Amino acid sequence: MMDNRTTRLDEILMAGGPAFTLRLKSSAGEIYADVPAASAPAASAYLRSAGCRHAAVFAEDRVAEDLHYYIYYVFEHPDDTRYLVLRCGVEPGQASFPSLAAEVPALNWQEREIQDWFGLEALGHPNPRRVALHDNWPDVHPLRKDFPIDTVLPPFEGEQHVYRPTLGEGVFQIPVGPVHAGIIEPGHFSFAVAGEPILYLQLRMFYVHKGIEKRFEHLPVPRAVFLAESVSGDSSFSHGTAFCQAVESIGCVEVPEPARRMRTILLELERIYNHVADIGAIVNDVGFVIANAHASRLREEILRINEELTGSRLLRGVVCPGGVRRSWDRGQAGRVLAALDPFEREFNDLTDMIQASDSTRDRLERTGTLHAEQARDLGIIGVAGRASGQDHDVRRDHPYAAYDAVEIQPPVYQEGDVLRRMQVRIDEVRRSLQFIRLAESGLSSGPHRASMPQLPAGEFAIGSVEGWRGEILYWIRTAANNRIARCKVKDPSVNNWPALVEAVQGNIVPDFPVINKSFSLSYSGTDR
C-alpha cells in the first residue's frame, strides 16, 4: 500500500509567509528551511497550530566551517510522510537561543542537553539546570568541535545533584538508587511521601553517560553502525536500522526488496521478544509469578528464532548500510514460520490467563494513570503514548523497510494506566506476528544488500524507526573520507522519562515498581 502523502507540509510552509521561503534541501523524506533564531518561537507556534508535532530539537557545531552553531527543530505532520526541519543559526558571540520548553514541555530535556553539550543558553527556559552533565562536572561542553574526545577531566568535586527538599508535617523523602538491585543501570528516584501516597517524584539520569554522539565524530560509516547498535542493547536492530536509513538517504541508495522484508521481520521479532518480557515483568510485580515464568519461556523462543536467522540472539551485527549482512535460505525461513504458530497459541494462553485474573486487573487498572492531555503536552511516544491516546507510529507515518505494503493501525487507548500499557503490548505482539507472516510470504530470492557509494562530505539526512519503545531518530552529517561529522541520536526514553513523574503522583509507594516497569524505559538510551 504505497503512501503518497507528500504535499501537506509544502502547503503549510507556503501559507506561513516569507519566514519559510529559504529552502536548504528537499528530499523524499525531509524538507529543510532556514529561519532566524529569533523567529523560532513564532514559527513553532504557527506549525503547531497547523497540526505539526515537535519530534526533536538538537544542535550542531559548524563554527569552523561557517562561523555558526545551528539549532535544528524537527517537526512532523500526520498528513505528510516527510519530516520538516527548521535550522536556526547562532553566532558564537551570541551563544544563546530562545527556549520553547515553556510552550512545548516535550523539549525540556532536549534544550537542556544543548546547553550542557554546546554551552548555548536556552533563554527563558523554565528550569535551566543541568540535565545531561551533573552538577559537579567542570564547566566544559563536550560536543563542541574544539573539545577533544580524549580529554581527561580533573576529579569532580561537590554534590552531583541537589534535590528539592520535602516540606510539611508528616512528609518524608524516600531515596531510591542510583544503584539498584539486579542488573539495571543507575538512575536516582527521590520520592516525597505522606504515608504511602506519593506526593511527587524527582528523578536524575545520566549517571553512566557514554559520550556516544561524540564517539560518532570521524568514525567511518561501516564502524559507526556497530556504535549505533550499542546505544540501547535491547533495541540494537532498531537503532542500527535507523542509522543505516539515514546513511542510505545520503547515498541515494535503494535497499533491495528482499532486504527490506528481512529488516521488517527482524524489527518485529525485536518488538515481540521485548513486549513479551515486559508483559511478564508487569504481572510479576503484582505477584503473578507463574505468568512471568511462561512469558520468560516465550521470550526465549523468540531469541532462539533470532539466533536461527542471524546468529545473534539480540540481532547484533546484522543490519548494514544497503541492507543486511547475510541472507536466509528457504529452510531457515520455513522453520521460523513453523515456530510462530505454537508461539502464538501459547501467547494467547498466557494472555488469557492474565486477563482471567481479577486480582491482577485490580492492581493494574487505574494505577499509574497518565492522562491524554499530559501525554500530548510531554510529547510521550511509543507504547506509553498509545496507551494515553497518542496515535503516532513511524511505521505508518514515515514508512520504511516493507511497511508501505501493510496497513498499520496502532492500538490506541485513552485510559493511560498500567493495564492499558500492558494491553498495547499484547495487541502489538499479535500484529507483529501478522506482519512477519506477510513479509515472509513475499520474500523472494535476490540480493540482500545494495552496494554503498563513498558518501559525499557535508550531506545530511534523518533516519527513523518505530522501535519497540517508540520513535527512534538519527540525524547524520557526513565528513570527508566516508566518515561522520555529526550524529544526533534520539531514543524514545528521552521523551518518556518525564511521564513517569506525572504517572506516579497519588499512587502508593508499593505500586511504583509496576508503574515504572509499565513504561520500561532505557537508561542506556537516555545516557547515550
User: At residue 2, does pLDDT exceed 50?
Assistant: no
Residue 49, pLDDT above cutoff 70: yes
Among 11-15, 121-125, 301-305, whose mean pLDDT is lowest? 11-15
More confident residue, 157 or 436: 436
- The three cell numbers locating residue 316: 547484533
Which pLDDT value is given to residue 22?
Answer: 58
Report, in this order, helix, strand and coil percent for the chain, each rounded to 5: 45, 20, 40
Q: For residue 105, give the C-alpha cell.
A: 514541555
At 20, the pLDDT band (50, 70, 90 cuts) reads low
Give the domain ranges of the chain: 8-123, 212-526
Confidence of residue 246 (pLDDT cuts 50, 70, 90): very high
Q: What pLDDT is recorded for position 168?
A: 81
- Least confident range of 78-82, 106-110, 180-184: 180-184
pLDDT digits (tens, 9 = 90+) for 433-454: 999 999 888 788 889 999 999 9
Output the pTM of the full model: 0.94
**In 239-373, where do the E strands start and end?**
319-320, 323-324
In CATH, 212-526 is 1.10.645.10:
yes
Question: Of the candidates 44, 63, 24, which has an alpha carbon nearest to the alpha carbon of residue 101?
Answer: 44
pLDDT of res. 6: 65
Q: Tell me the per-residue pLDDT of 494-524, one tens digit each, with 9 for 90 and over.
A: 999 999 999 999 999 999 999 999 999 999 9
> In degrees rounded to 5, what are phi and psi of residue 34?
-90, 135
Taking residues 319-340, report their average pLDDT: 89
pLDDT tens for each residue of 341-386: 999 999 999 999 999 999 999 999 999 999 999 999 999 999 999 9
pLDDT of residue 21: 60
As a whole number, mean pLDDT of residues 18-29 equals 68
The share of the chain scoring above pLDDT 70, in percent, equals: 97
CA distances to 135, 312, 381 from 151, in Å: 19, 35, 36
pLDDT digits (tens, 9 = 90+) for 275-300: 999 999 999 999 999 999 999 999 99
pLDDT of residue 218: 85
pLDDT at 185 over 80: yes
The answer, yes or no, to whether residue 333 has pLDDT greater than 90, is: no
The fold of the 8-123 domain, in CATH, is Beta Polymerase; domain 2 (3.30.460)
**Length of the chain, in residues:** 528
Average pLDDT, the chain: 92
Among candidates 202, 179, 160, 231, which has minimal Cα distance to 493?
231
pLDDT reported for residue 5: 63
Residue 44 in this model has a pLDDT that exceeds 60: yes
End-to-end CA distance of the chain: 36
- What would the mean pLDDT of 476-499 be, rounded to a whole number? 95
